[in-house]
Amino acid sequence: MVDDDTELEARLEEQETFDPSEEFVAQANVTDEGIYEEFEENWPECWDRAGKLLDWDTRYDEILDDSNPPFYEWFADGTLNAAYNCVDRHVENGDKNRVAIKWEGELGDTRTYTYQDLYREVNEFAAALRDLGVEEDDVVTLYMPMVPELPIAMLACARIGAPHSVVFAGFSAEALGTRMRSADSEYLVTCDGYYRRGDALDHLAKANEGLESLDHDVETVVVDRLGDAGHGHGLTENQHDYAELVAEQSGNRVDPVERGAEDMLFLMYTSGTTGQPKGVKHTTGGYLAYAAWTTHAVLDVKPRDTYWCAADIGWITGHSYIVYGPLALGTTTLMYEGTPDYPERDRLWELVEKYSVDIFYTAPTAIRAFMKWGSKFPERRDLSSLRLLGTVGEPINPRAWKWYYRHIGEEECPIVDTWWQTETGGMMITTLPGVGTMKPGSAGPPLPGIDATVVDTKGEPVEAGRAGYLTVDEPWPGMLRTLYNNDERFIDEYWREYSDVDSDDPDDWVYFPEDGAKIDEDGYITILGRVDDVLNVSGHRLGTMEIESAIVGVEGVAEAAVVGGEHDVKGEAVYAYVILEDGYDDDEEMRERIVAGVEDAIGPIARPEQVIFTPELPKTRSGKIMRRLLEEIANGEEELGDTTTLRNPDVVEEIQRKAQR
Ligand code: WT7
């Protein structure tokens, strides 16, 4: 047994390409290699394939309107309702008893919603929202953990044409306040609390604190997740109990509002290079069609499957691949409240076994943690139901890929390494599991219909194997339409770099995702990571500026610079270099105040791994902080790159010394 194992390890280590099994291909949703050519030759009409996955109230004639780049419109003369597509039509098609959502709480409590159950509750909550005053186009903020009421609230909003803005439950009160202010949101759905590693967290206290920072009144709905014992807070006049509202609407129906394809379905705030988060706008037609299409083509989801994306709905991954894509296709989507290592490190595999999960989609940071914990945890469980595995959020190194392939997929499941972003709405670069060869470490070719390339600083394609910048030359249905109330920033952030912004010829417009990449002879793209001041910590996107401004807000801090340092499990970790004002000591208390400042402003995910006090920051003669150097120091590199352009080269050694403490 041991010998077999070593032999297998050695063989896997050398193997550079992997193909899906015949058995997988025989059942896959997409198996024809010709699909790439078919999309290319038929572009943009090829996107009708995605549009056709939905039911439209008014069928669109025009696939793409590119008359005003970069404000592209898709299926623009069509109308539809997203909740109708995710719920009603499955009920009408005879699948009312199929399970839509299976939910499991951290303590092992479970809930099951059939499409009929979902239909009923979405209608009732939609009616309740209307009664609270929500009108079409009002932004409703959802600040909720992983409870079934979150997708229900999203669908209820979609039903009445009110865009939702989901704020990740791990974000702080301040982060909630900023997002509600930015979106002028007068409605909030939140929760009393939830469980994390056995503790009942007081979520409502955070929500209340966020509300206090607003100048406008907010109608709030509170889901009682913890039961009366956990409530503790009395509800104020503007706060309503979710269960009571739904009970009052018992059996009520709300007609799904006919939305234009280009009408906003939701806003999702994400981090950028400045301190202000960006409100990414996604639409009803293009986004939903794209989410459904990629769920079908890449995740190979079929209605009979039990499908599990182990992300949080508070991020785009959860929007597209826990809620909208899977429900549009009428499958069973599994939701889990807790963490992978509670009560034990086999929790996820226990759930795979229990629910006989067919498709599992997670992030490389989780896979690296599983690897560290060891294969004995998955080995305790029967994982033979799995057919396909996926990853998203950051680059996956070949070693982690192969571990996932062997110990979770038992060498039988293809892996899709899917590159995409909050802004792209859905997957962009990955192999199609029933078609392409997989190369661990490389996401794969752009999907059919996606025109992504790797270029140099001038926009010229780079040679195979050379590092460059990822760009996308043609629009796609799932793309963001703009940044909320900020068309100018939309152009600046994503287009200016490689486009002729004065041109109205769509060929002169190129989307820049701000990732570095390389491409090989077969057109496979390896993502190298962000090239802007955005960190990727455990697959979560954080702006260095946001963290810096949180630190500078702490009393006694004069200046701060934040960079990402390499981390085995998190991928990147936050390193904060801090200059104190005179009269403040660089002691443990100061460090704690800085960490608390970051947690208050953003949330625990942004917590610095290390706070390094320094008398000065390394700056160029023009006064720019040399971040590259700070990154090298964070990574413990002894030989630093060129420091000759520094104004204050002497400080480097001192910082290096402090970082080692
Ligand atoms: C950034 C987008 C897409 C949902 C989760 C993150 C990085 C994403 C991959 C991948 C290498 C990846 C990129 C991208 N990224 N997927 N498969 N391989 N890097 O969404 O928070 O908008 O972050 O995540 O750097 O730009 P996000």
- For 95, 171, 246, 249, the CA distances from 237, given in Å and listed in that order, are 40, 25, 18, 19
- For 80, 326, 527, the CA distances from 259, given in Å and listed in that order, are 5, 21, 36
How many whole angstroms from 471 Cα to the centroid of ligand 1? 14
What is the tens place of the pLDDT at every residue in 509-518?
999 999 999 9
For residue 630, being part of any structural domain is answered with yes
For residue 31, being part of any structural domain is answered with no
Residues 496 and 520 in one domain: yes
DSSP 319-354: IIIIIIHHHHTT-EEEEE-S-TTSS-TTHHHHHHHH
CB 512, CB 518: distance < 8 Å: no
How many whole angstroms from 472 Cα to the centroid of ligand 1? 15
For residue 464, being part of any structural domain is answered with yes
Residues 570 and 585 in one domain: yes
* Ligand 1 atom index nearest CA of 427: 3
Task: Check residue 368 and give its pLDDT.
Answer: 95
What is the tens place of the pLDDT at every residue in 161-192?
999 999 999 999 999 999 999 999 999 999 99
Residue with CA nearest ligand 1 atom 20:
421
Q: Is residue 650 predicted with pLDDT exceeding 90?
A: no
Residues 520 and 569 in one domain: no
Residues 470 and 577 in one domain: no
Q: What is the pTM of this model?
A: 0.95
- Name the domain boundary from 464, 497, 527: 527
Residue with CA nearest ligand 1 atom 10:
419
* Ligand 1 atom index nearest CA of 513: 26
Residues 506 and 619 in one domain: no
Residues 457 and 567 in one domain: no
For residue 185, being part of any structural domain is answered with no
- Name the domain boundary from 527, 552, 575: 527
Burial of 199 (0-12, 13-18, 19+ CB in 10 A): exposed
- Per-residue HEC secondary structure of 71-100 comes to CCEECCCCEECHHHHHHHHHHHHHHCCCEE
Residue with CA nearest ligand 1 atom 23:
421
- When pLDDT is averaged across residues 138-160 and rounded to a whole number, the result is 98
Predicted-complex ipTM score: 0.99
- CATH number of 628's domain: 3.30.300.30
What is the tens place of the pLDDT at every residue in 350-361?
999 999 999 999
Residues 483 and 542 in one domain: no
Q: How far apart are CA 160 and CA 138, in angstroms?
A: 10
For residue 76, being part of any structural domain is answered with no
Q: Is residue 574 predicted with pLDDT exceeding 80?
A: yes
For residue 143, being part of any structural domain is answered with no
Number of domains in the chain: 2
Residues 607 and 654 in one domain: yes
What is the tens place of the pLDDT at every residue in 183-217?
999 999 999 999 999 999 999 999 999 999 999 99
* Ligand 1 atom index nearest CA of 536: 24
CB 239, CB 222: distance < 8 Å: yes
Spell out which residues line ligand 1, taking CB within 6 angstroms.
270, 316-317, 392-395, 417-422, 443, 513, 515, 527, 529-530, 536, 541
Token readout for 12 is 């896997």
* Ligand 1 atom index nearest CA of 420: 3
Token readout for 275 is 């301190």
Residues 506 and 603 in one domain: no
- Name the domain boundary from 502, 527, 552: 527
Residue with CA nearest ligand 1 atom 27:
421
Residues spanned by the domain of 484: 453-527
* Ligand 1 atom index nearest CA of 417: 17
For residue 589, being part of any structural domain is answered with yes
For residue 600, being part of any structural domain is answered with yes
Residues 505 and 610 in one domain: no
How many whole angstroms from 364 Cα to the centroid of ligand 1? 11
Residues 545 and 618 in one domain: yes
Q: Which of 537, 541, 542, 572 to mutate to test the pocket of ligand 1 (most atoms within 8 A of CB)?
A: 541
- CATH number of 497's domain: 2.30.38.10
* Ligand 1 atom index nearest CA of 311: 5
Q: Hunting for tokens 């010829």 — which residue is that?
A: 505
Residue with CA nearest ligand 1 atom 3:
421
HSE (side-chain half, CA atoms, 13 Å) at 299: 35
Q: How far apart are CA 509 and CA 157, in angstroms?
A: 33
Residues 511 and 537 in one domain: no
